[in-house]
Structure 1
Amino acid sequence: MFWVLLLLTAWAAVLASCALLLRAAAVASVAAPAPPDGGAGGYRPDALNLYEAAYLAGGPRRVAELTLLSMQRGRRLLLARTGWATVVDPVARDPHERSVLGALGPDGQAPVDAVRSAAARDEAVRVLADRLDAAGLALPVSARRAVAGGVRAVRRAAALVAATAVAALCLPADGTGRAVVLCWFSMPLLLALGCLAIARFETYPYSAWASPAGQRLLVALDREQGEGDPLTAVALRGVRVLADPALRAALARATGGRGPTPGDGPVQGPAQGI
């Protein structure tokens, strides 16, 4: 009956991790300060600018991608399908564009990966995050980290259940059927998977970055403008909505640190539009 000890180990891991995740989810649900009007902090869906919508929907990386695409759309930046960005107009319209131009450096050309990462870490994004946090539209960093840690703990517990089930099946037979052993181990596994599913739909109904008030704004914005403007669609749903394969390639391709070669943009063809 040594397999029973393995089963108890699996149950202990699942119960502890599920309790951790549920506690983190409960804290996250009340972590954001309540907007003063009980709704969205005085914001209307059409009052959110695209950078704010991008942060609430996808975090700093989404803001950086939106900035790159906005500059490309205004023909102030070339995004080549080779994964390189080249400055066309070195005049920034806002702090986010200034961060992109700063990441491109004096040569005016750099890998899209590096530019995106630098822009996502820039002070302009931190100021944006603080503003949305103060308005009660974004989840505090501590709440996001707690929920993410809880999710990782439950995933590890699910993997432990599978491992202990395999180990139990490899033990010498003690008269208990293999099907019975699997049924016993399926219960903690189902609990772990169910907890992950509940966390996915209750904690992240629209975005892992937005508070409940922010999520309501995103849903309303998506309903009102999500299909009308390509940049709004990118802010809400990410670069996967891009119709231009050259743009998708420019943002997805990793250059691996290779320096630019003559004709990187023109030969491969810059992306022309969203």
Structure 2
Amino acid sequence: MWLLFLLPACVAAVLSCIRLVRMTATADALAGQEGPRPPEAVGIGLYETAYLAGGPDRVVELALVLMASRGRLHLAHTGWTTVVDPRGRSRLERAVLATVGPEGQCRTGELREAMAAHPTVMEIGSRLSLAGLATPAAVQRHTVLVIRQVRQALLLSLVLLAAALATSVLANGDALAPLAWFSLPVVLTTGTLLMARVDVHPYTGWASPIGQEVLREVRPPRQHGLTDDDERELFTAVAMNGTDALPDARLRAALRRH
């Protein structure tokens, strides 16, 4: 009976590991294309820093914080965004205002979701990817997905092993055979995860290895004494660490995902 538990464990382990091996090949190809490109070639500003640190969502967070801090948007803790000043000062601000719509008000969560997929935000990632500083968005998401699938296959193997041991012990008292056979999917998934830790893990972040070096050169924001008067410090903190860096509790609540 315990063989019925072994089959799905092996299938899940093999399929997930094959996907991760393919992703390793993609990561190796990306690494081979990268070179020592100067960050000045793409202009590493606040929005580029935000993308490297947190992807499209972080860029949107930074844009909303900047516009709210300068009185162009009102972000309510109830989850609504209201336009105060309809004049956008940049392409990204104009995109935000256009996404809010002609009524001048929308749900903050819906605005964030729409802006994260907006071409203006995607263009920032594309420029950074072409410069070798960012992991392409599709590669990053797929890498995270396949690593999660291998972890799930490992967990499934352990759960099915426990079920197989219980069935085998109750049937004939033999636990060695299930342990021996289930070691195959367990060792396979564990070894693949260890390999991924070295070869693939750098591509689970938005910044490529070179981009991560650029982020390390960004002056870390102060953890204490951060005020709204020091705008550059505030926006750098948000770009690097997200909305948790905001000293304004009301603004943090307004940007919290509902």
Range with bigger deviation, 210-219 or 185-194: 185-194
| Aligned counterpart, 1:30 | 29
- Structure 1 vs Structure 2 CA RMSD: 3.1
> Which residue identity lines up with residue 138 of structure 1 in the other structure?
A
TM-score where L is the length of structure 2:
0.80
Q: Residue 115 and residue 182 in structure 1: after superposition, are their counterparts in 2 closer, same or farther (change >3 A)?
A: same
Shift of 1:26: 4.0
| Aligned counterpart, 2:134 | 138
| Aligned counterpart, 1:247 | 251
Alpha-carbon displacement from aligned partner over 1:129-157 (angstroms, at most 9, x marks no partner)? 22112111122244324423422331331
Identity %: 43
> Which residue identity lines up with residue 18 of structure 1 in the other structure?
C
| Aligned counterpart, 2:208 | 211
**Contact 2:140 2:203 (C-alpha < 8 Å) held by counterparts:** no
**Contact 1:100 1:118 (C-alpha < 8 Å) held by counterparts:** no
| Aligned counterpart, 2:226 | none
TM-score where L is the length of structure 1:
0.76
> Which residue identity lines up with residue 118 of structure 2 in the other structure?
D
Q: Residue 182 and residue 125 in structure 1: after superposition, are their counterparts in 2 closer, same or farther (change >3 A)?
A: same
1:9-28 equivalent positions in 2, closer than 5 A: 10-11=9-10, 13-28=12-27
Gaps of at least 5 residues in structure 2 are 223-231
Shift of 1:166: 3.4
2:221 to 221, 226, 232: 226
Shift of 1:206: 8.6
Shift of 1:21: 1.3
Gaps of at least 5 residues in structure 1 are 255-274
Q: How many residues align?
A: 247
| Aligned counterpart, 1:150 | 146
**Contact 1:100 1:116 (C-alpha < 8 Å) held by counterparts:** no
Shift of 1:198: 5.7
Range with bigger deviation, 12-21 or 54-63: 12-21
- 2: CA distance, partners of 1:130 / 1:89: 29
Q: Residue 190 and residue 245 in structure 1: after superposition, are their counterparts in 2 closer, same or farther (change >3 A)?
A: farther
Shift of 1:107: 2.3
For 1:110, what is the secondary structure of its paired residue? strand
| Aligned counterpart, 2:174 | 176
